[in-house]
Structure 1
Amino acid sequence: MKQELLLNTVEIVTGVCETVSEAKAELHESIVSIREVTDPMGIDLYCAGSHPFASPKSQPVTDKDRYARMIDRTQWWGQQMVIYGVHVHVGLDSRDKALPIVDGLINYQAHFQALSASSPFWGGEDTGYASQRALMFQQLPTAGVPYHFSTWKQYEAYVADMVHTGVIDDISEIRWDVRPVPRFGTVEMRISDGLSSLQDIGAIAALTQCLVDDMSTTLDNGGSIPVMPPWYRVENKWRAARYGMEAIIILNAEGDEMLVTDHLRMELERLAPVAEKLGCSAELADVERIITGGAGYQWQHKIAAAHGGDLREVVKDNIRRMNIA
């Protein structure tokens, strides 16, 4: 459990896990431990892409030099960061696979964004977006869709330039939606909004692990990972943030398009043998449950509509979902 940018936030981190179910169990244990502290204080736990009505500038910032520097540099945008996400690391057996797999995961950015989108409200208003968080977070320096690098040497040169010019002090300050993490030997998928249920987190983790394993096998067999043009990558992110499950996404460099949920179902079928090998078939199947039952932003809209737009009920519903976990 770690401090985060805002004092209202606790980041929960697992150790290295062999399976998604193991990671879910660790997260559950951590939540139980946190509740032993928060329950007597009358504090509820909430997790989504954003809080629907909290005033961003009213949230105290953690007293830490790196956070103070970030707020000083980013000013108004940095003061808006009442946003929360889920990050999934998957270990690799070769550094040479990291950058191709980063490119590959960006091809699925819209899928993850649509499944996890849970930040439609901001400052008490309906933004019209499924994920306000996605567009808010990319306003920070070095955040957003990563660049394409053909070689690890090119990536190292980029990091060196960022340090030399004072854009970052440490490689961890590169906050891309997907990034390699050299100190862990992983690729880190950071696209997803915060999710209130462990079932949903497990679904996102399983989809991530299956895709990475599938791409790793492709590279082992001498294949390559397609790289979409940067304008398609950026457009897909916007479409998923705006329309969520109803996004028509761009599939490839040729510009072919499909409803994101239709393509997800095709991918679930394709990845089923990979999930069986990795021991996460049940968790991958929960992706279909999100598709049919609704993503977080859809539930928030439904609850708000049922209670005359009262966003406090949206928060209460989220808290109930966490308590089921």
Structure 2
Amino acid sequence: MHIPFSSSPRTSLGIEWELELVDLQTRQLRGASTEILEEFAGKVGDEDAEKAKHELFESTIEVITGVCGTVPEALADLSGTIDVLRGLAERRGIGLMCSGTHPISEYNTQEISTNDRYFRLVDQMQWLAHRLLIFGVHVHVGVRSQEKAFPIVNALTAYIPHFLALSASSPFWLGRDTGLASSRSKVFESLPTAGLPQQLADWGQFERFMETLITSGTIETIREVWWDIRPHPNFGTVELRICDGLPTLQEVGAVAALSQCLVDRMNIQLDRGYTLPVPRRWVVQENKWRAARYGLDAEILVDDRGTTRPVRDELADVVDDLLPVARRLGCATELTSIQDILTVGASYERQRAAARRAGGDLSHVVDTLLREMNIGRPASDLMS
């Protein structure tokens, strides 16, 4: 099976941000994406209509950038789309927010979007698909050739705990505290073609693997492989899908900068003849669990002999190491904002702090997430 790869001549960038539509009276999710998107398309015209799309549930809208060169350009693109959507939503008594899971809404009350692809998914996956009331941020970074795709995918798996701990924003599920920093990651990986990527040696091995999955009826198209990190042949990118939904534009910028800097450095290392390291799968699996459970308080394995180190320290070192790359790519401000998140707290920490302040009333957590979305940065007063 031949799978063409649309090589990117530079380390281009694209971001997908899944937003929740929240009734401002009840704080519950509300299915209104069809009417909002229809009005959005008429307002922005054909060229920009594709920047906001349906997702599995009617209570979700995915905002998508065009192909961008820098993180600031991508954030401006997202911001422009959200400004239009916010006005359309507010006229209907709806607010926009993002978190890995909605703190109080239940999946069995949600309407599936009218789309044959989604109907097939629900028919095939049944209960697993109905539970997918989860929200994430996906970052695409351009790769120069298909030969580089899997060396970069494999090497990036070492950073799965960094991305997940930094973005963890789903401590609550169906109105209860799960005890996890990221329950979303555990819900999503229950799908048979989701979770950690297969460690494949090269593009040819990927083509043979996809052919096997399609021939056996496991999937219909390669779009149904939802790995935490995967190549996207049509876009010529590596797509990082590991992150929970991020409540603020600042946090989206932080993970986008980290993504672009890591892939750019790996692109250059491959150009220079370096062999990128491939972590052992069991180490990656254990580290993903630790980040999902403990978030920024996780102690992650840094080798296959059991040596551990705080993920906070690992993140701080990665930021320092990548700063020259970030300056060259024009995203130093966004990369160093990771330190702000380490100081203020990740979203799961802020959500729990909001719940404590309200005596366990999770509707107050929704209000906090709505406020953070509007101001574009973490609400530092939560942790004081």
Give your verdict on TM over 0.5. yes
Query: What does the per-residue CA deviation read over 1:205-242, in whole Å, with 9 as the maximum and x for residues that have no partner?
Result: 00000011111111111111111111111111111000
C-alpha distance after superposition, 1:10-63 (max 9, x if no partner): 000000001000000010001111012111101011100010110111110111
Contact 2:101 2:170 in 1 (8 A): yes
Separation of aligned partners in 2, 1:12 and 1:3: 9
In structure 2, relative to structure 1, the CA distance for the partners of 1:254 and 1:217 (3 Å cut) is: farther
Deviation at 1:255, TM superposition (A): 3.6
Q: Does 1:271 align with 2:322?
A: yes
TM-score (normalised: structure 1): 0.98
After superposition, the C-alpha distances for 1:51-83 in whole angstroms (9 at most, x for unaligned) are 011011111011111111111121112111110
Note the residue ranges of structure 2 that are not aligned, 5 or more in a row: 1-51, 377-384
1:113-262 alignment to 2 at 5 Å? 113-262=164-313
Residue 254 of structure 1, CA deviation:
4.0
Post-superposition shift, 1:170? 1.1
On the 8 A contact 1:272/1:281 being kept in 2, the answer is: yes
Q: Work out the CA distance in 2 between the residues paired with 1:175 and 1:252.
A: 27
Q: Assess, with a 3 A threshold, how the Cα gap between structure 1 residues 305 and 125 changes in structure 2: closer, same or farther.
A: same
Q: Are the aligned partners of 1:88 and 1:190 in contact in 2 as well (CA < 8 Å)?
A: yes
Verify the 8 A CA contact 2:151 2:202 in the aligned structure 1: no
1:45 maps onto 2:87 in alignment: no
**How many residue pairs end up in the alignment?**
325
2:70 to 12, 19, 22: 19
More strand by share: 2
Return the alpha-carbon distance in structure 2 between the equivalents of residues 300 and 315 of structure 1. Answer: 9
Aligned counterparts of 1:93 and 1:151: Cα–Cα separation in 2: 14
**Alignment partners' CA distance in 2, 1:202 and 1:18:** 13
Secondary structure of the 2:231 match is strand
Which of 77, 81, 85 pairs up with 1:34?
Answer: 85
Query: CA separation in 2, counterparts of 1:248 and 1:264?
Result: 12
TM-score normalized with structure 2 length:
0.83
User: Deviation digits for residues 140-173 of structure 1, max 9, x if unmatched?
Assistant: 1200000101121111001111111111111111
Q: In structure 1, what is the Cα distance between the partners aligned to 2:304 and 2:262?
A: 19
Deviation of 1:102 after TM superposition, in Å, equals 0.6
Q: Which residue of the partner structure matches residue 54 of structure 1?
A: 105
Asked if the contact 1:227–1:253 (Cα under 8 Å) also holds between the matched residues in 2, the reply is no
SS class of match (1:77): helix
Name the aligned partner's letter for residue 335 of structure 2. Answer: L
Contact 1:49 1:119 in 2 (8 A): yes
CA distance in 2, matches of 1:246, 1:224: 31
Q: Say if 2:96 is the partner of 1:73.
A: no
Show the counterpart of 1:6: 57
Cα shift at 1:252: 3.0
Show structure 1 runs of 5+ residues with no match: none
Root-mean-square deviation over aligned CA pairs: 0.9
Q: How many percent identity over aligned positions?
A: 48
